[in-house]
Structure 1
Amino acid sequence: MRVGHLRRNSIVLGATTAVLGLLFLYPTSTNRVGGPAAPAASAGVVSTVPGHGGQRTTVVNGQSALTRYGPVQLQVTINSSRITAVKTLTAPSSGDRDRAISAFALPILQREALTAQSATIDTVSGATFTSDGYRRSLQSALDTAHFTK
């Protein structure tokens, strides 16, 4: 009886190892750094429009931030020393899972950025790489605009 348990445990362990090995070799996303990526928009100031009362609106593209699952690039609108809009120009989207994660995480990250008025925002659970790329592109845009909180 004891030998049967050892044999069954060995089979289960072997099968588990094989499955984990396959998951490591074949990740669920097909868009990884180093592969073809969507062309990035030029980073830098897109426009500056003077407003009344000495206010101005500046629109800036952040650098495209490469992540494990694809690039993330943002466009930030700053009006009167406040971040008023954050638009996603590029996000991981090569597979169904990438699109689902982006659809879930990007609105949360956008709200966080508008609330924090900086790139110091929390990582969205389940979207660690996208969150990191979002922060890096956002910080790049804020640096280009010489934005300080």
Structure 2
Amino acid sequence: MRRIAIAAAATVSVVVLLFSYRTSTDQTPVAATGRPAGGAQPSRTTSPPPAANPSATTGTTGDGTFTGDAADTRYGPVQVRITVAGGRITAADAIDYPQESGRDVRINTEAVPELNQETLQAQSAQIDTVSGATYTSEGYQQSLQSAIDQAHR
């Protein structure tokens, strides 16, 4: 009888510990689609403030069109092309990004235009990440920084 009581107490303790274990510190519930729960549209999350990096801005760039190196992501490469005029980014376009599955198309149809617009506003690679499109956003930032670096040469 004593062994049964000890086994039951141990089982209850283990179950309580399992249910109280938190796997993430992020408090935002995420649905299976990678978007916030409730079917919300992807939204921007705040990135850290821009670092004091001279290559992060376009203040002393040459004019022209510059294509960044393709950045490999978990779902495929992302590549960005920028147009610089008067030392400012006047156009930013993702020319390659994941489109293999319906999910890729659904996510990137919304995320890529937002990233392009964010680039024009920020005038640097220090842009906000689009929620629900983290891999694409990170690849976009890497390729964008590569294009900016080319403009600085």
Shorter-chain TM-score category?
A: 0.5 to 0.7
Identical columns (%): 50
Counterpart AA for 1:118: S
How far residue 88 of structure 1 moved from its aligned partner, in angstroms, is 1.5
Instruction: Show CA shifts across 1:30-70 (max 9, x none).
Output: xxxxxxxxxxxxxxxxxxxxxxxxxx741011000000001
Task: Could you tell me which runs of 5 or more consecutive residues in structure 2 were left unpaired when the two chains were aligned.
Answer: 1-11, 16-61
Matched, 1:67 2:73: yes
Aligned mate of 1:98, from 91, 94, 104: 104
Structure 1-normalised TM-score? Answer: 0.60
Q: Could you say which residue in structure 2 is the equivalent of 1:108?
A: 114
Bigger RCO of structures 1 and 2 (CA < 8 A, at least 6 apart) = 2
Distance in 2 separating the partners of 1:128 and 1:69: 11
Aligned mate of 1:76, from 82, 86, 103: 82
Matched, 1:127 2:116: no
What SS class does the counterpart of residue 133 from structure 1 fall into? helix
Structure 2-normalised TM-score? Answer: 0.59
Runs of 4+ in 1 over 4 A off after TM superposition: none
Matched, 1:89 2:95: yes
Task: Could you tell me which runs of 5 or more consecutive residues in structure 1 were left unpaired when the two chains were aligned.
Answer: 1-5, 10-55
Give RMSD over aligned pairs.
2.3
Aligned residue pairs total 97
